[in-house]
Amino acid sequence: MLRALARGMGTTLKMFFRRKPTIQYPFVKKERSARFRGRHELRRYSNGLEMCIGCELCQVACPAAAITVMPAENDPARPNSPGERYAWKYEIDMLRCIFCGLCEEACPTDALHLTREFELADFTRESLVYNRDRLVNKHTSDFQVPTHVYPPYSGWVPMHGPAGGDGAGAASGGEAPAAGDTPPAGEAKGA
């Protein structure tokens, strides 16, 4: 019995001097993997248009039924996305979401992306249903509008330049061929 006691005491003493694996959480955060699936974001193209075209595939793919998408036709004068439609309403219920990432895989335009942000705690249920204002990234990404999919566009651009910006819009769509191949109606103004 005494030997067992001594061994036990020895074990605890060894632990006493061992380095502690504690991470001082709010000040120091553990490195997350590049593929970490956290809070969702809806990305924008480099010219500021939303990448989401309101196709609802993410809503279909979602196993937890956390996503609600209601698309609407783009106003040709002030389009939200380069496609015909955009997500007029886009809601993700973070209380239902299981962060499986199937929505991200389903997205045909790579608009939906799961960031590495994970501190989502809040006080009410309502505040945890994220709407499009919170999901659409305020910053643009490096993605270019794929010109072989969408018609070239050099009209109103939400982020760059003043509203109805002619110069800035032209600059961002600079590499696009000259206006002419079936432009959307609003394009006439910019050109």
Q: Given the rule CB under 8 A, which residues bind other proteins?
A: 5, 8-9, 11-13, 15-16, 18, 20-22, 24
Smallest distance from the beta carbon of 97 to other proteins, in angstroms? Answer: 31
Residue with tokens 């067992």: 4
Q: Which residues of 175-187 are buried (b: 16+ CB within 10 A; e: fewer)?
A: ebeebeeebbebb
Smallest distance from the beta carbon of 27 to other proteins, in angstroms? Answer: 10
- H-helix segments, the chain: 2-17, 57-61, 102-106, 132-135, 167-172, 187-190
State which residue, 10 or 146, has the beta carbon closest to other proteins: 10
For residue 4 the two structure tokens come to 């067992």
Smallest distance from the beta carbon of 29 to other proteins, in angstroms? Answer: 16
Distance CA 88, CA 146 (A): 22
State which residue, 16 or 123, has the beta carbon closest to other proteins: 16
Burial class of residue 7, CB neighbours in 10 A (0-12, 13-18, 19+): exposed
Q: Rounded to an integer, what is the distance from CA 163 to the centroid of its chain? A: 24
Smallest distance from the beta carbon of 9 to other proteins, in angstroms? Answer: 5
State which residue, 2 or 163, has the beta carbon closest to other proteins: 2
Smallest distance from the beta carbon of 30 to other proteins, in angstroms? Answer: 16
- At residue 8, φ and ψ (nearest 5 deg) are -60, -45
State which residue, 28 or 34, has the beta carbon closest to other proteins: 28
State which residue, 5 or 163, has the beta carbon closest to other proteins: 5
